[in-house]
Amino acid sequence: MSGMHGAPGHGPRQQAGIERPRKRVSGADAAAQRAENALAPRIPHLLARIGALFAPHRSTLIVTVVLVLVSAALSVVPPLLTQRAFDDGLFPAGGAPPNLSVLGVLVALMLGVFLVNALLGVWQTWLTASVGNQVMGALRVRLFTHLQAMELSFFTKTKTGVIQSRLQNDVGGVATVLTNTISSILGNTVTVIAAFVAMLLLNWQLTIVAVVLMPILVFAQRRVGQVRARIAGKTQESLSDMTAITQETLSVSGILLSKSFTRQQNEIDRYAEENRNQVRLQVSQQMSGQWFFATVSVFLSAIPAIVYLVAGALMFNGTTDVTPGTIVAFTTVQARLIFPLLGLMRVALDLQTSSALFARIFEYLDLKPAISDKPDAALVPSVGSERGRVEFDRVRFNYPDAGGDARPTLDDVSLIIEPGQFAAFVGPSGAGKTTVSYLIPRFYEVSDGRVLFSGLDVRNLQQESLVSHIGIVSQETYLFHATIAENLRYAKPEATDAELVAAARAANIHDTIDSFPEKYDTMVGERGYRLSGGEKQRIAIARVLLKDPPVLILDEATSALDSISESVVQSALDTASHGRTTIAIAHRLSTIVDADVIFVVSEGRIVERGTHAELLTRGQVYASLYARQITSDSPAPAP
């Protein structure tokens, strides 16, 4: 796009300081380790921020906590009832026969506990699933809202697929943590504590045997979690790359490009390579910790056998009063301890693993928009003699990613466009013309000087109010994959059908739309590819007319069209510019010969200004540009 000297996209591709190409070299693991080490001190802070996400759901969480505590407490009751069933019901003291009445009461109590626990579990699952998914949905919307506030330069330096991956893959990747963590931690912790207390009450010597190796398992779990967190980070980077490849190559533009250069196989190979990397990472992520959990399971499962051996030795030596009921109850409690312990370890691993994903999400949420409203930002005046007036006061500007030694894109630019004037900017490609159109709606911030709109510095205006007073028609028209009516109503959702028709007539597109079988309900296709270039451009003009702004910016709106389409579109533009301040970035000088003022831009400076006739008379830059275009547009002489 012309006027984009030093604009984002020129030079090496960057990722806004956020996404960087994954290193496929031997140093990749070292880089990942450095990232992991940097993340470790932030984990408590991350946990605090994750906890803050649940703040709006306090009342539901309190109910969930109560249910979890009750359920966990009830879970250790059956083993204690089992001890009484053995010692008082099945094998009463003194060799008496089984006491069926005692057994009946104890069995009834067990069944009652199981039933209550099952009902509490269903209720608890519904509450945690509801809260977790609401938190995840709110996080996704919060991230999307924050990205909407980011400045234009962020999007010119970050792949669309990478942004999509943050919204979909990263937020989706923490779903399990958000939906299950609280109930799992509370429930398992209470169950473990209650079981441990019950084991102590039953026999303290056997309890020591059962828990002596637990610290070693906790240490091993921490190391496994660090490995999984590192793999999770790499996995999400790979998913970002795959999403970016899909977005780039499977869009209409990407498919046309690959087919035009017969590069389909190259794109397939590129996707397949990244897919192989993703498969490898997914397998690694699934397998990391499996040996640990297998070892833990074997250890915990072997404890009952060890307990039998130790209990037998204690009974043989007569050093303890261990009864058969005590042994059965103890092993039952210890068996109930296995799953909560494994659950806590898995939650800890999930938290460590998800810390990498949360870090990526919060990294975007912590980005500060380079352009934002001041606390006392004003609305654009809706009336007044200066409404629609545009002024540049000694403006100097360079794009954010340009080097410090780069020549300014705009340098000491001063100009005034009066309300209702038709002003044109012309000059060679890269001169800075389009940059002028970016600074008026404050898509970028000036490096020095001021841009005034309706007499006020744009930095002192509310952005939404400022942009609502400006209509932009660019060379690259963007239409949604929706109906013509829906695309038009994007400018004014409450517009009536009559208003749509009026805007379409003014843009010279109504008759064309009316000839379609579906008329205004015609689907335009991805990026409007079912329409011709001229038709898309005129729909874009109709959309701006529906907005009815006092200032209209035309950024080379006809340069990509053939002469017939250009004539039709130019007629629509003439209608659109009537009665409003119009700023045209022109490539074809024939379209701006009637402009009230023409600014000639060269190397970021205004080198000439005046009407078409005045500039031709001077015989300088504009006259030279016009002469070259007239010569190139003239038909070749007959042979």
pLDDT reading at 578 higher than 90: no
Do the beta carbons of residue 79 and residue 201 sit within 8 Å? no
- Assign domain 388-469+596-634 to a CATH class: alpha beta
- Output 225 or 639, whichever has higher pLDDT: 225
Which of 69-78, 122-131, 497-506: highest mean pLDDT?
497-506
Looking at residue 485, its pLDDT comes to 92
- Spatial distance between the Cα atoms of 476 and 236, rounded to a whole number of angstroms: 32
pLDDT reading at 242 higher than 60: yes
pLDDT band at 217 (very low <50, low <70, confident <90, very high): low
Q: What is the CA radius of gyration of the chain?
A: 36
Do the beta carbons of residue 445 and residue 607 sit within 8 Å? no
Instruction: Quote the percentage of the chain above a pLDDT of 90.
Output: 14
- Output 334 or 390, whichever has higher pLDDT: 390
Which of 111-120, 157-166, 185-194, 530-539: highest mean pLDDT?
111-120
Mean pLDDT confidence for 541-569:
78
Q: Which two tokens stand for residue 148?
A: 């909407």
pLDDT band at 639 (very low <50, low <70, confident <90, very high): very low
- Spatial distance between the Cα atoms of 472 and 584, rounded to a whole number of angstroms: 10
- For 327-360, how does the pLDDT look when each residue is reduced to its tens digit (9 = 90+)? 777 777 776 676 777 777 777 767 766 777 788 8
- For 102-155, how does the pLDDT look when each residue is reduced to its tens digit (9 = 90+)? 888 888 888 898 898 889 888 888 888 888 888 888 888 888 888 888 888 888
Looking at residue 637, its pLDDT comes to 47
Q: Which two tokens stand for residue 77?
A: 């009751």
Which of 323-327, 467-471, 567-571: highest mean pLDDT?
467-471
Looking at residue 148, its pLDDT comes to 84
How far is CA 80 from each of CA 87, 88, 124, 229, 537, rounded to the nearest angstrom?
Answer: 11, 12, 24, 40, 79
Looking at residue 38, its pLDDT comes to 45
Comparing 297-301, 359-363, 590-594, the range with the smallest average pLDDT is 297-301
pLDDT reading at 449 higher than 90: yes
Where are the chain's structural domains?
55-365, 388-469+596-634
Question: Which CATH superfamily, name and number, covers 55-365?
Answer: ABC transporter type 1, transmembrane domain (1.20.1560.10)
- Spatial distance between the Cα atoms of 124 and 489, rounded to a whole number of angstroms: 45
Looking at residue 161, its pLDDT comes to 75
pTM here is 0.67
Sheet holding 410-417, edge to edge: 410-417, 390-397, 448-453, 456-457
Comparing 91-100, 220-229, 386-395, 463-472, the range with the smallest average pLDDT is 220-229
Looking at residue 257, its pLDDT comes to 64
Mean pLDDT of the chain: 77
